[in-house]
Amino acid sequence: MSSPIEEIKKRVDIVDLIGSYIRLSKAGANFKAVCPFHNEKTPSFYVSPAREIWHCFGCNAGGDVFRFVMTIEGIEFPEALDMLAQRAGVVLKREDPRISGERKRLLNLVEDATKYFSSELLENSEANKYLYSRGLKEETIKDFRLGFAADGWENLLKHLSQKGYKPEEAAKAGLAILSSNPDARTKFYDRFRSRIMFPIADTSGRVVGFSGRIFNKETNEGKYINTPNTVLYDKSKILYLWDRAKNDARKENSCIVVEGQMDALMSHQAGITNTVATSGTALGSSHLFLIKRLASKLLLAFDNDEAGETASKRAYELALDSGFEVHVINVPEGKDPAETLALDPVLWTGAIKNAKPVIAFFLDNLGKKFGGDLHKIRTEARTAVLPYIARFSSEIEKAHWIQETSKVLQLKEEPLWEEIKKISVLGRGGNSFTKEVKFVNVDPKTRRHLVEERILGMLKWKAGLPFGVGENLKNLFSKENSLMLESVLAGNSDFETELSKLSLEAELLYGDADNMEEEVKSLVSELEREVVRAKLESLSEEIRKTEAAGEGEKLAQYLKDFQDESRKLNYLWQEAKLKK
Residue ranges per structural domain of the chain: 4-88, 102-226, 242-354, 360-434, 447-579
Cβ neighbors of 189 (< 8 A, separation 6 or more) are 153, 154, 157, 176, 177, 179
Alpha helices in 393-515 (DSSP H): 395-409, 413-425, 433-436, 447-461, 470-476, 479-490, 496-510
Taking only Cα atoms into account, the Rg of the chain, rounded to an integer number of angstroms, comes to 31
- Architecture per CATH, domain 4-88, reads as Alpha-Beta Complex (3.90)
- If one looks up domain 102-226 in CATH, what number appears? 3.90.980.10
Q: What confidence score (pLDDT) does residue 427 get? A: 53
Q: What confidence score (pLDDT) does residue 187 get? A: 87
Q: What confidence score (pLDDT) does residue 320 get? A: 92
Q: What confidence score (pLDDT) does residue 162 get? A: 96
CB 409 within 8 A of CB 380: no
> What CA–CA distance (Å, rounded) separates 412 from 237?
43
Identify the segments of the chain with pLDDT beneath 70.
Answer: 1-2, 94-100, 183-184, 217-220, 304-310, 334, 424-445, 464-471, 578-580
CB 4 within 8 A of CB 92: yes
> What CA–CA distance (Å, rounded) separates 461 from 488?
10
- 59 φ, ψ (degrees, to nearest 5): -115, 0
Q: What confidence score (pLDDT) does residue 181 get? A: 76
Distance set, CA 378 to CA 2, 232, 383, 415, 417 (Å): 71, 49, 10, 12, 14
CATH number of 242-354, picked from 3.40.1360.10, 3.40.50.360, 3.90.740.10, 3.30.420.40: 3.40.1360.10
- Using DSSP's 3-state secondary structure scheme, residue 391 falls into coil
Sign, CA torsion 167/168/169/174: positive
Burial zone of 391 (CB within 10 Å; 0-12 exposed, 13-18 middle, 19+ buried): buried
**Of 516, 500, 424, 422, residue with least CA distance to 456:** 500
**Of 428, 486, 411, 429, residue with least CA distance to 456:** 486
